Structure 1
Amino acid sequence: MSDGLIPVKPPENELLIVTGMSGAGRTTAAHALEDLGWYVVEGLPAELIGTMMDLIARNPGSVEKLAVVIDVRSRGPFSDMMDALGQVRAAGLTYRMLFLDASDELLVRRFEQARRPHPLQGSGRILDGIVAERDMLKEVKAGAEVVVDTTELNVHGLAREITEIFTDDGPIQLRLNVMSFGFKYGVPADANFIADVRFVPNPHWVPELRPLTGLDEPVREYVLVDEGAGEFVDRYVEALKPVLEGYRRENKHYATLAVGCTGGKHRSVAISEELARRLAQVPNVTVNTVHRDLGRE
């Protein structure tokens, strides 16, 4: 868990150094930061940190938040990293350091499960490599602004911890895409949920509605006035609420709800718009609508 850190919104053009014990979760942390909009670089030689920050400073708006992952496999000793960071700070640029740690017992178990040697164990035991790395990093850890102990955290727990510390927007936001489509053009491959609304009366068979789409008010009224459609929307929204909240708890940032009718022009479009309107009222969920097959003949 984090050592008493109070999350602070990062300033523009901030540099975050992600380091710590091998096996403590740097890759998971890097992925979580990427989901939050950080530009993540792994394996950058320490002497190039200042060069990269200088390039970013010369191009305002190009990268506001840069995270550099450095470990014992990166080129150059950790003393080079501290020297480079000293130059960054001397140039008036800010940085923070995230240090990931875990108990020796857990690190040994993780390396054994992965069936990979510790990068510093040489011809010795895994524990020998861990002890050597811990001694090498003791000063780095002492200077870190953020220390997260991952001993009691699984992958999802660590991602959640990183998100809570470094997010700009408060609670984790789930981005939900509500996509209308036509079954005759194929089911979207990336859908997490698929709703079939072909049970609703089809406006295609009403001559004055046929040339319109589900974005037009007459079609919307025709579709949503149906008792089955209204009940479907009510119950589907209520059924999705605990699912979306569970996604947020598991640090899932994206989901797609695909709503299909025959051609993707009338029913699926109108019901997608209504579902999106209702789901946008769910806390910590942002909704985007896409009408995949609208405009096809």
Structure 2
Amino acid sequence: KSKGEKEEGKMIFFLLLQIEWQTINRPYSDIEQELVIYFSIPREKLKHVVKDSLFYVEYESQLKVYDEQNNQLIGDFWEVKRLSDTLDIHDSVKILIPKKSSYFHLKIVDLHASQVFNITEKILKINYIGNIKWDIINDTLRLTFIIINPEGSIDSMLFSMNGIEQAIPTKTGTYDDSLSLMVGGLLNDNYTLKVVVFSKSEKIDEIQIPIIISRPFYLDEFTWLLKVNQLKYIATSSEIKDLKGTARVYRDSLWRAFWKQHDPTPNTEYNEKEVEYFER
């Protein structure tokens, strides 16, 4: 392969191997809140070990929480061993933290290889909004959350991200609420959702929430074409043409069918031939 082709291959591999995570801060008590981190690990990120003709992975999640003076307040770790029977590994860690917590550090280590993930993120203070969860379906970002306004001290919130914004009124009380933002015009990338809290048109609070837009590669035009083009060392020109011209709804099944014919272990979900090809 030429240098340019190798760089393009690295770009594809990077796009497909990003670990996705989402942090939830839940109200718990007057002195504590609950920190929950959901994450998904692409199967290629971990070393798959064979035992008794089965592939499995083993990793450890390490979570530490610090205050503003960088003192560790609390921490824990979790070891996981599971069969390699799905495309991605979905997991979560959960811990009660003091309300004075400032930020957390999460590290994921492959117990048969090396570190695969490392992130430090600010912890959201739960003042007027908490338990913020988000999901993206059909280019719609949907948020659900709890409004905490027992005294009626706030009257509205403004949600904005990359020029897309929506305001909502708030009422007195503590209650569940939600909103949706259309994000079809945004590419796969990391974004920041800003939530500004108002009282009588005066800004009194602001939080920022990391949002990851990461459509499956077969639903993202840019990534799909990059990945299909890389098949030229294993696929025929006719196969590449068929893949490029396939409608979105059929791409996933056609991709799986293509790699099935090159799978050395067809009775398992894990196709090491596909992984090795893109690693090269």
Higher relative contact order (CA 8 A, sep 6+): 1
Higher strand fraction: Structure 1 or Structure 2? 2
Same fold (TM over 0.5): no
Higher-Rg structure is 1
TM-score (norm 1): 0.19
TM-score (norm 2): 0.20
